[in-house]
Structure 1
Amino acid sequence: MSDENARHRRREAVLEVLRASTSPLGITEISESLGVHPNTVRFHLGALTRNGRVEAVPTERGRRGRPPTTYRPVVRMDPDGPREYRALAELLTEDLASRPDPHRHAVGIGRRWGRRLAAGSDSTRARSARASRARIRRMLDRLGFAPDHDDSGPIALRSCPFLELAETSTRVVCPIHLGLMQGALETWKAPVTVDRLEAFAEPDLCLVHLGPALASTGAVS
Structure 2
Amino acid sequence: MTSEHHGLGPTRARVLALLQSAAAPLSVADVADELGLHKNSARFHLEGLREAGYVDCTTGATGHLGRPPLLFTATSDSPNVTNSHLMELTQVLIRSFVSSLPDASRLAEEAGRSWGREVSDDTEPATDVLDGLVAQLAERGFGTIRGEDALTFTRCPFRPEVGLAELPVVCAIHQGFIDGYLDSCGGTHSADRIQVGPRLCHLDLHDAGAQMRVAAS
Matched-pair contact (CA < 8 Å) for 2:116–2:178:
yes
Aligned partner of 2:175 in structure 1 is: 178
Deviation readout 1:142-171 (Å, 9 max, x if unpaired) = 222111132x23210000011132743233
Match of 1:147 in 2: 144
CA contact (8 A) 1:148 1:155 kept: yes
* Greater Rg over alpha carbons, structure: 1
Pair 81,144 (structure 1): closer, same or farther in 2 beyond 3 Å = closer
Under a length normalisation based on structure 2, what TM-score does the superposition of the two structures give?
Answer: 0.57
The two structures have a TM-score, normalised by structure 1, of: 0.56
Q: Aligned letter for 1:100?
A: P
C-alpha RMSD of the superposition: 3.7
Aligned position for 1:87: 88
Q: Percent identity?
A: 24
Over 3 Å off, 4+ runs: 2-11, 39-46, 75-83
Per-residue displacement from partner, 1:5-25 (whole Å, max 9, x unpaired)? 5995579xxxxxxxxxxxxxx
Q: In the alignment, which of 182, 206, 212 is matched to residue 201 of structure 2?
A: 206
d(CA) in 1 for partners of 2:81 and 2:205?
42
> SS at the partner of 1:115?
helix
Q: Does the CA-based 8 Å contact 2:144-2:151 persist in structure 1?
A: yes
SS in 1 for 2:194: strand
2:184 to 184, 187, 206: 187
Residue matched to 1:134: 131
Q: Flag structure 2 segments of 5+ consecutive residues without an equivalent.
A: 1-10, 20-25, 29-43, 57-74, 210-217
Aligned length: 155
CA offsets 1:21-66 (integer angstroms, 9 cap, x no match): xxxxxxxxxxxxxxxxxx9998445311xx5x89xxxxxxxxxxxx
Q: Specify whether residues 168 and 123 from structure 1 end up closer, same or farther in structure 2 by C-alpha distance, changes over 3 A only.
A: same
Q: Which residue in 1 is equivalent to 2:156?
A: 160
Distance change >3 Å, CA 113–CA 166, structure 1 → 2: farther
User: Quick one: structure 1 residues 43 and 77, their matched pair in 2 at CA, closer, same or farther if it must change by over 3 Å?
Assistant: closer
**Structure 1 residues 10 and 189 mapped into 2: Cα distance closer, same or farther (>3 Å)?**
farther
- On the 8 A contact 1:166/1:173 being kept in 2, the answer is no
2:100 counterpart residue number:
98
Q: Deviations over 1:99-137 (max 9, x none)?
A: 12111100011112212222xxx4314323xx2222212
Secondary structure in 2 matching 1:168: coil
Query: What is the correspondence of 1:114-129 to structure 2 with a 5 Å cutoff?
Result: 114-118=116-120, 122-128=121-127
